[in-house]
Amino acid sequence: MRIVLDAMGSDKHPGPEVEAALKVLRQDGGELVLVGNRPELEGLLPDRPEGLEIMHAADVFEMTDHVSLGRLREAEHSMGVAMDLLKHGKADAFVTAGNTGGAMATGLTRLGRIKGVQRPALTAPFPVKGGVCMVLDAGANAECKPEYLLQFALMGSAYAAKMLGLSQPRVGLLSNGEEEGKGDDLVKAAFPLLKESGLNFVGNIEPKELFGGMVDVAVTDGFTGNVMMKASEAVARLLVDTLRESLTSSLRTKVGALLARPAFNELRKLIDSREIGAVPLLGIDGLIFVGHGRSDAKALVSAIRLARRSVEAGLLDSLRAAIEAGISQLARSRAG
């Protein structure tokens, strides 16, 4: 198994990427490919460990770069060079903390879509009661059609089955009401598609059902999913900061804080995005994982390990099979 890491992705590249690669190889072994400016990388790696390869890329797809067809076709930026390795079977998965739009567009240009998929989807794990819920789309597609949501549901269910070990993942359609017929035109049109898909579709859900652990996969458009993800992160930070201020306001509360420290450490771990590292961009015909630009070495280590688990689980083949089976099921349902 070879994981290729965009060494020029994070805001502070390539330091975090190099540190993460060294830690993974030291603790887990295996093979990694760092793609980026070779002289710069070799300067940080005077003693390159076994299993680490450096591949040169003369250019960087910056966070501020405009996603244009000409830019995507340039073979010299690190994302393009890395994805060409996937395309030619020289790597099994790609991890980047770079430009999300650039990663999606480069993936579409270099690797194409899984057959039957019209739009890829960012798939973010949300901490919920009793575990985690996969939410998609979390930001790749601001505007969606009903059939996109069906494809998101099929891919999300396949991901939850493979990566979370769930035999029949519960799929919900995010809406402003639980009853069938609630929601905007997109939700109303998507509902019957999911109902006839053969998935374990539980119907419309509100955010309270999502965070209450009532579903394993929540489907929505990328605009709504991204706003909900950012709002949830902001609320979590507000709660933690408020608790910290309250618990350090007096000697009495400081004593209580010391006693409750293990519980608060668990809470911090639950909402720490570095524990996840990156989210999969499902629908591209290759395994792509995108982390935040602020990613440090800890986040990138988590991302690399997630990519490895996905390869080991045969995730890509499962996604292909799920899309094919879902489309066939819907056709049979409509024909009958």
Higher-pLDDT residue of 101, 157: 157
pLDDT at 245 (0 to 100): 79
pLDDT at 272 (0 to 100): 62
Report whether pLDDT(333) > 90. Answer: no
According to the 3-state scheme, what is the secondary structure of the chain? CEEEEECCCCCCCCHHHHHHHHHHHHHHCCEEEEEECHHHHHHHCCCCCCCEEEEECCECCCCCCCCCHHHHHCCCEHHHHHHHHHHCCCCCEEEECCCHHHHHHHHHHHCCECCCCCCCEECEEEEECCEEEEEECCCCCCCCCHHHHHHHHHHHHHHHHHHHCCCCCEEEEECCCCCCCCCCHHHHHHHHHHHCCCCEEEEEECHHHHHCCCCCEEECCHHHHHHHHHHHHHHHHHHHHHHHHHHCCCHHHHHHHHHCHHHHHHHHHHHCHHHCCCEEEECECCCEEECCCCCCHHHHHHHHHHHHHHHHCCHHHHHHHHHHHHHHHHHHHHHC
Average pLDDT on 312-331 reads 90
- Residue (of 283, 320, 277, 267) closest to 298 by Cα position: 277
- Per-residue pLDDT band for 64 (boundaries 50, 70, 90) equals low
pLDDT at 230 (0 to 100): 86
Report whether pLDDT(238) > 90. Answer: no
Report whether pLDDT(67) > 80. Answer: no
| pLDDT tens column, 212-227 | 999 999 999 999 998 9
Report whether pLDDT(201) > 90. Answer: yes
- Per-residue pLDDT band for 270 (boundaries 50, 70, 90) equals low
| pLDDT tens column, 70-100 | 555 556 788 899 999 999 999 999 999 988 8
Can you tell me the distance from the alpha carbon of 129 to that of 323, in angstroms, rounded to the nearest whole number? 29
Average pLDDT on 251-255 reads 73
Can you tell me the distance from the alpha carbon of 16 to that of 324, in angstroms, rounded to the nearest whole number? 39
pLDDT at 53 (0 to 100): 94
Those residues with Cβ within 8 angstroms of residue 56's Cβ, 6 or more apart along the chain or in another chain: 35, 36, 37, 38, 81
Record the tokens describing residue 9, joined without a space. Answer: 């992705």
Average pLDDT on 307-321 reads 96
pLDDT at 62 (0 to 100): 65
Can you tell me the distance from the alpha carbon of 314 to that of 61, in angstroms, rounded to the nearest whole number? 29
